[in-house]
Amino acid sequence: MSWNYRIIRRQFKGHVSYQVHEVYYRSDGMIERWTENPINPAGETPEELKQDFSRQLLAFESPILDYDQLSRELDEKG
């Protein structure tokens, strides 16, 4: 199973937010799941923190995912 950071758009009571999440993929490349809560950059050293932040910035190079659409698609697939 592979994963990467992705931006997920979520709407709640008319308010829209964009957050970075870890997204996990099946072997065929389809999304299997994502972290419930957004992810903050972290590291045990300043360099590790910088590397993690850099990986999160790569999420801006991929299409933004919509939380409601992802949830519906996963529910349909069971």
Q: Return d(Cα 3, Cα 61) in angstroms, integer.
A: 15
Residue 40's domain spans which residues?
Answer: 2-77
Neighbours of 59 (CB within 10 A): 21
The tokens describing 2, both together, are: 């592979």
Q: Which pLDDT score, from 0 to 100, does residue 5 have?
A: 98
| pTM exceeding 0.85 | yes
Q: Which pLDDT score, from 0 to 100, does residue 73 have?
A: 86
The tokens describing 30, both together, are: 């389809």
Q: Which pLDDT score, from 0 to 100, does residue 74 have?
A: 81
Q: What is the mean pLDDT of the chain?
A: 94
- SS3 state at 46: helix
Task: Please count the structural domains in the chain.
Answer: 1
The ranges of the chain with pLDDT < 50 are none
